[in-house]
């Protein structure tokens, strides 16, 4: 499988890229608005993998070119730019290319972070509204801590929740996520349930903030 991570130069993109490259044989492409920034990131990721005994080639491209080449496109960009990012690559997405969104809208005040969904109900549904016809959307990875993903010395031992309306693309993303060691995938239902999944993310960040020894906290359901 060829996975393009748009905004793969950022935190969650780095974590997912490293884990997929470390744990699986999937081809990972890093996308950026600036192809030079993408290439710089791939060099850093390759160096990190090399230091863990894994020699992998990761290629970097402009977002449009990465999306053009991929079977699955992960939108690892800030929530308020995810819709525009979908539109910027829409012409490059083949029918059946799976769009994956981990984005969560939040705002903060002195007390902590608070879930702040868009009018669509959730960022995941906003992405589905903006995706071209025939391009399915799956929400995943919303509740993972980027730093924990990016630290290959740490065992993950966390769950990730999937939301989506179509079974085949959901199964594709389930297999990709399952390939990451220590990540258990649970089905949280259709896109209409995305707000419940997204809203867990500010809760996790607030828990980390108010409990000093908890960093990069995740969820595990028993």
Q: Which residue is nearest to ligand NAP (CB)?
A: 10
Closest to ligand NAP by CB, 148 vs 174, is: 148
* Nearest CA-CA partner of 170 in 186, 146, 192: 186
Least distance (Å) between residue 53 CB and ligand NAP: 26
What gap in Å lies between CA 93 and CA 64, rounded to an integer? Answer: 9
Q: Please report where in the chains the tokens 């470390």 appear, as a residue.
A: 22
Closest to ligand NAP by CB, 35 vs 132, is: 35
Least distance (Å) between residue 159 CB and ligand NAP: 13
Closest to ligand NAP by CB, 168 vs 210, is: 210
Helix residue ranges per DSSP H, 24-122: 35-50, 63-69, 82-89
Least distance (Å) between residue 57 CB and ligand NAP: 19
Contact residues: ligand NAP, CB under 6 A: 7, 9-13, 32-34, 37, 76-79, 81, 85, 102-104, 141-142, 144-146, 201
Residue 41: HSE in the Cβ half-sphere, 13 Å Cα cutoff: 30
What gap in Å lies between CA 112 and CA 110, rounded to an integer? Answer: 6
Closest to ligand NAP by CB, 169 vs 202, is: 202
Closest to ligand NAP by CB, 27 vs 198, is: 198
Judged by DSSP in three states, 222 sits in coil
Q: DSSP secondary-structure letter at 93?
A: P
Judged by DSSP in three states, 107 sits in strand
């Amino acid at each position: 499988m060829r996975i393009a991570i748009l905004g793969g130069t950022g935190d969650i993109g780095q974590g997912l890229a490293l884990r997929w490259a470390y744990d699986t044989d999937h081809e990972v492409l890093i996308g950026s608005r600036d192809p030079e920034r993408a290439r710089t990131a791939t060099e850093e990721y390759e160096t990190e993998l090399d230091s863990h005994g894994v020699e992998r080639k990761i290629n970097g491209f402009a977002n449009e070119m990465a999306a053009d080449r991929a079977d699955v496109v992960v939108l690892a960009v800030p929530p308020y730019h995810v819709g525009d990012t979908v539109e910027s690559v829409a012409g490059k997405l083949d029918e059946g290319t799976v769009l994956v969104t981990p984005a969560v809208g939040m705002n903060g005040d002195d007390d902590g972070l608070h879930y702040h969904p868009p009018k669509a109900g959730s960022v995941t549904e906003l992405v589905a509204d903006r995706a071209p016809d025939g391009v399915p959307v799956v929400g995943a990875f919303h509740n993972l801590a980027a730093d924990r993903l990016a630290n290959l010395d740490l065992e993950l031992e966390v769950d990730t929740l999937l939301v989506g309306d179509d079974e085949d693309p959901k199964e594709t993303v389930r297999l990709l996520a399952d390939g990451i060691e220590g990540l258990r995938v649970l089905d949280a239902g259709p896109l209409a349930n995305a707000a419940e999944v997204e809203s867990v993310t500010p809760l996790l960040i607030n828990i980390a903030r108010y409990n000093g020894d908890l960093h990069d906290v995740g969820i595990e359901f028993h």
